[in-house]
Each structure stands twice: as C-alpha cells, then as structure tokens.
Amino acid sequence: MSSGELSESQQRIADAQKVTWVGFAINLILSLGKVLAGVFGNSAAMLADGVHSLSDFVTDVIVIVFLRISGKEPDEDHRYGHGKFETLATFLIAAVLVMVAIGMARVSIMLILDVIHGALLPRPDMIALWMALISLIVKELLYQYSAAVGRRIASPSVIANAWHHRSDALSSLATGLGIAGAIFLSERWRILDPIAGLLVSIFILKLSYDLARPSVEELMESALPAESNERINEVILAHPQVMGMGELRTRRVGHRVIIDVHVHMSASLSFAQSHRVTEVLESELQKKLGGDVSSTIHAEPLED
C-alpha cells in the first residue's frame, strides 16, 4: 500500500468522520434557524424543537471523538483493537436521546395541563411553520445519507447518530402539525402541539432502548445472535477434515467479530495439515460472515 492510500480501517474512519462533520454543519445552521424562528415566530414549540436540535451537537462530538479512538490499531493494552469505544459512543448517544425525550415529554405534559386548566397557548406565525417543514425535509435527507454510510461501513455509532437525525425530523413533524393546527384551526386545537410532542418523546424513548440494548449486550460480552453461530457451525462442520466441534465462543468488539472455537480432527493428521485446515476455515468464516472477522481455531486430535 502506497503512502497516499488508506487502509480499509482508515478509510472506514474517514468516511464515518466525513458524514458526521456534514451532520455537524447542518445541525448548526438548523439549530440557529429554529431558535430564531421560535423567538420571532412566537412559537414555544419551535423554540423547544431548536433546543432539541442542539442535542445533535452532543452526539456529533461523541461520534467524532470516539471514532478517532476506535480507529486506532491494536496495542499492548488493547490486543483486540479499540472497537468498543465505538460501542460506548452508541450507548452515550442513546443516553442523550433519553434525556432529550424526557425533557420534551415534561414540557409537553406541562403545556397540556396548562390548557386543561384554562390557559390559552399563543398563536404562532407562519415563519415557524416554514422552519418546521424545512427542518423535516433536511433532517430526513440527512438521516438517509448517514444511515446509508453507516450500513456500508458497518458503524453502529454512525447508524445511531442517523437515527438521532430522524428523531429530530419526527420532532419537526410533530412541531409542524402542532403549529399548523394552532394557525389554521380554532384556539382549542392548539393543544395538538404538546400532544404531538408527547407522542414523539415516547417514540424517541423506544428508539433509545433499541439503540442501547445491543451496545449493553456487547459491553457485557454477549455472544453473537443464534443465526450467526449457526452459520459458523455450518462452515466448520462442512470441512471434510473436521470430525466435530468443541466449545464455540463468539462476541463483538465494535464492528469486529471475534470467534474462538475448538475443532476435532483426526490424530493421524500432521501438525502442518491441521494448521492448513484451520487457515481454510478462517478464510471461509471471513467470506460467510463478511466484515472484519478475527477467529482463533484450536485443533484437537481425535483418535479414528
């Protein structure tokens, strides 16, 4: 590899940082636009949506910092690399989403209670509605772009950040519906704004759980899903020199799959022959599972 070329791992980190920086710049513009639209458009909902968008800065910074760390090569203290820093970043993004959802739910519930007790929510201006529509379109496009890159490079933190963009798009959708109802319907329908905000906060809480669960499982050294272990079994047992399998242990370190397995081979095979079989198995596992696979195969002699 020439000095001007990037390794696969380096290219992966570069792609992840690029899409995150794009999101960072767009979030800056949108957040300022929402806050100004909320202030001058007399819309508490849009102002709250702008504050929600500010949380994207937190997740963007988390992804940028932790991806830089996770892209480091293995060292004396981290023999399997630094991939779990990316897993930790995904968990932190989920935690930020939880706090955002709780804050949105609290504000929405307070507004609903105010209306129930006779308060009148202010009528927002059209600038707030237009800002909500612009935010909805831009953030959905940003979600599609980020999610596509995240899936291509198999980055859970980039995918998690993409879902944060979509949560912001859904927030803008709810805000837009509430603002539209407040503008075009009678005064009593202005309660649609906080009701929609409450529903969005519930969705974000569910999304946070879906993001955090696999991260916690990985940090707790959970095994790969059953279907992945079945594919590993199929590859190993399909080799004609393999007479059986012993203990199979699997886990993830970031985007890397770690496999540790014992295979039974005939005691009549030489050491060199057994080693060649394990090399073939490692290559087949790489093809079958795809991505970055690190496998350690222990050959155990078995009397014929």
Q: Report pLDDT digits (tens) over 135-169.
A: 999 999 999 999 999 888 877 778 888 887 888 88
* Region class of 118: left (phi > 0), else alpha (psi between -120 and 50), else beta: left
Q: What angle do CA 205, 114, 181 make, to 5 degrees?
A: 75
According to CATH, the topology of domain 226-302 is: Alpha-Beta Plaits (3.30.70)
pLDDT, residue 3, reads 46
Percent with pLDDT over 90 in the chain: 6
For residue 30, pLDDT beyond 50: yes
User: pTM for the complete prediction?
Assistant: 0.58
Start and end residues for every CATH 1.20.1510.10 domain found in the chain: 8-219
- In this predicted model, which residue has the larger pLDDT, 31 or 229? 31
Q: What is the mean pLDDT of the chain?
A: 77
281: helix, coil or strand?
helix
CATH number assigned to the domain covering 8-219: 1.20.1510.10
pLDDT, residue 156, reads 77
Start and end residues for every CATH 3.30.70.1350 domain found in the chain: 226-302
31-35 contacts, C-beta under 8 A, 24 or more apart: 31/56, 31/57, 33/131, 33/134, 33/135, 34/131, 34/135
What mean pLDDT is predicted for residues 8-18? 75
